[in-house]
Structure 1
Amino acid sequence: MKGTFGFVTYPSTAGIIGLIWLSGAILIIADPQLPIIRMVLINMGASILIGILGFRVEKR
């Protein structure tokens, strides 16, 4: 498994971002009346925030 996902340095952060987008897609499928643009903007904002916080590299 390490060989397959060896290039992902922060798998938990990437998993959280993937889960955000997957759950947003499920919500839109479950309720077509949801505003798609607003959902995408919320997902983008959350992904950017989590990406900035989760993919930080401390230089030593």
Structure 2
Amino acid sequence: MPVISVAGAPGSAMGGVVLPLEGGRWSLTFMGMRGTGPPVDEGEFTAYAKTLAHPALTT
């Protein structure tokens, strides 16, 4: 199974990794620097994920 490295827009301090797990589940780890870390609220977290530049996060 592939591991997906996710980058923010050019010059962005955001990024992350998407890892496959057993049972068709996925682990998402997002990070940010300089005050751009992901929020803990589910709706805001989803919006944060959508700002990252990778089509795997839009499905």
- Normalised to the residue count of structure 2, the TM-score between the two structures is 0.33
Quick check: which one's strand share is greater? 2
Q: Relative contact order (alpha carbons < 8 A, sep ≥ 6): 1 or 2 greater? A: 1
- Normalised to the residue count of structure 1, the TM-score between the two structures is 0.32
Quick check: which one's helix share is greater? 1
Report the structure number with the largest CA radius of gyration. Answer: 1
